[in-house]
């Protein structure tokens, strides 16, 4: 049932002009008749009347001001962030505060492959949670609808008729409710926002859902801006490889002049840390540690989280590998540069060893590979992939 502007104004205790402003701003949804007249759904009027309480005009204005303040603050915070991890943490912070929920997960969406990839998930205390595996949409038709039809939906474990796949997923994690909103930029869906409640089923009002949708829109634009900024930085840093190649060439020349009989591998590792700005470097031959170096940690090292960069080359029939720990993700061209250094160091090392009759040491230590990460915080539910 739909009502006129005048009837909605009388029900809410405000003027018709106020109703028109609310409908124009999207605060109160409306439909238009063939003649252009506004018509408001009775259920939306009832919902707003319950929300604003007795003093209709004053309470409605305050409710609207709170919503505008929330969106404005979120917009300011997100627009000023270009570091991707900081941005994802800020998005989760605003969503968990706005929805009063347990966690917020932000995922990317590859429409061509139909795959959703978790970018980050944080709880309401700001702690980052362990990652889950990527998943396709074939077994999750409701998630597909959210992304392809750009609809915001809520699923509770006790909802009759709820999508069985989503209910099973909630039960597997011990969750009670999830709100899913698409992240849309222009005409492209770039990701998925999920607000999960571990404790109770949720019934969001239409106004709350619209506010979450608006926040998701701000988040999507900020994520795209951060992505473009990161791509620009990679291009600029790629150009920075030229002086680093020169530094590597100078370092190799110095190492080539080392006295016969010396062990060059610690020097190799130190030079690699300098050239690639690494925290640490390990060199190994056939899985046996040859040498290692650790650079002093800068003030902006970024905590305990690290990113591994690894290159393997076969020289003289032997398998050489180098594993670096960086304070940031590897940039374009750095893997190839590390591979060149491994090849050069392997040839220099073998030449120096042959000249001095020194065999590479073979302690029992082995080299680990893969991304290094600090132990994740504990959480109330067990992490795991979508089934």
The domains of the chain, with CATH numbers, are: 1-80 (1.10.1660.10), 83-238 (3.30.450.40), 240-356 (3.30.450.40)
Residue 116: predicted pLDDT: 93
CA 37 – CA 44 distance, rounded (Å): 17
Task: Walk along the chain (387 residues) and give the pLDDT tens digit of each residue.
Answer: 899 999 998 888 778 878 887 887 677 889 989 888 899 999 988 888 776 665 555 555 665 666 666 667 777 778 778 888 899 999 999 999 888 899 999 999 999 889 999 999 999 999 999 888 888 999 899 999 999 999 999 999 998 889 999 999 999 989 999 999 999 998 899 999 999 999 889 988 887 888 888 899 989 999 988 887 776 666 555 556 566 666 666 666 665 555 555 567 888 888 888 888 889 999 999 989 988 999 876 554 445 567 899 999 988 788 999 999 998 888 777 888 888 888 888 877 666 566 554 444 443 333 333 323 333 333 344 444 455
Helix (H) / strand (E) element for 46: namely helix 42-52
Residues 6+ apart with CB under 8 A from 219: 78, 91, 94, 95, 106, 183, 193
CA 286 – CA 366 distance, rounded (Å): 9
Beta-strand runs (E) in the chain: 2-3, 31-32, 38-41, 103-110, 115-123, 135-136, 153-156, 177-185, 188-197, 280-285, 288-294, 307-315, 318-326
Q: What are the angstrom distances between the C-alpha of 43 and each of 206, 264, 370?
A: 10, 77, 54
- Laid out side by side, the sheet with 31-32 consists of 2-3, 38-41, 31-32
CA 18 – CA 303 distance, rounded (Å): 51
pTM above 0.75, yes or no: no
Residue 385: predicted pLDDT: 46
Q: What are the angstrom distances between the C-alpha of 341 and each of 42, 201, 244, 263, 288?
A: 71, 56, 12, 17, 18
Cβ atoms of 142 and 116 within 8 Å: the answer is no
Residue 377: predicted pLDDT: 39
Residues 6+ apart with CB under 8 A from 43: none
Tokens at 180, concatenated: 């899913």
Cβ atoms of 337 and 276 within 8 Å: the answer is yes
């Amino acid at each position: 049932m739909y009502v006129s502007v005048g009837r909605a104004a009388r029900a809410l205790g405000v003027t018709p002009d106020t109703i028109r402003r609310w409908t124009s701003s999207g605060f109160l949804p409306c439909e238009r008749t063939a003649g252009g007249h506004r018509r408001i759904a009775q259920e939306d009027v009832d919902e707003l009347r319950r929300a604003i309480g007795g003093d209709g005009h004053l309470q409605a204005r305050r409710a609207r001001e709170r919503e505008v303040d929330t969106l404005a603050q979120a917009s300011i915070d997100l627009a000023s962030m270009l570091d991707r991890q900081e941005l994802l943490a800020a998005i989760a912070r605003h969503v968990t505060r706005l929805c009063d929920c347990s966690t917020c997960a932000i995922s990317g969406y590859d429409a061509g492959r139909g795959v959703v990839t978790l970018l980050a998930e944080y709880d309401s205390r700001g702690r980052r949670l362990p990652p889950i595996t990527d998943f396709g949409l074939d077994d999750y038709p409701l998630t597909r609808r959210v992304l392809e039809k750009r609809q915001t939906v809520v699923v509770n474990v006790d909802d009759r008729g709820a999508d069985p796949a989503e209910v099973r997923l909630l039960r597997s994690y011990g969750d009670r409710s999830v709100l899913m909103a698409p992240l849309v930029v222009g005409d492209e869906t770039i990701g998925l926002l999920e607000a999960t409640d571990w404790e109770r089923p949720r019934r969001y009002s239409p106004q709350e859902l619209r506010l979450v949708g608006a926040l998701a829109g701000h988040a999507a634009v900020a994520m795209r801006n951060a992505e473009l900024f990161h791509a620009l930085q990679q291009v600029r840093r790629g150009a920075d490889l030229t002086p680093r190649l020169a530094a590597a060439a100078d370092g190799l020349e110095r190492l080539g002049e080392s006295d016969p009989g010396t062990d060059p591998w610690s020097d190799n590792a130190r030079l690699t840390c300098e050239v690639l700005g690494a925290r640490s470097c390990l060199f190994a031959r056939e899985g046996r540690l040859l040498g290692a170096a650790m650079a002093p940690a800068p003030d902006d090292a970024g905590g305990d989280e690290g990113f591994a960069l690894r290159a393997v080359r076969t020289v003289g029939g032997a398998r050489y590998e180098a594993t670096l720990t960086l304070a940031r993700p590897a940039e374009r061209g750095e893997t190839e540069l590390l591979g060149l250094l491994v090849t050069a160091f392997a040839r220099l090392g073998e030449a120096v060893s042959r000249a001095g009759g020194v065999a590479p040491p073979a302690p029992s230590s082995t080299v680990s590979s893969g991304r290094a990460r600090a132990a994740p915080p504990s959480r109330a539910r067990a992490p795991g992939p979508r089934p």
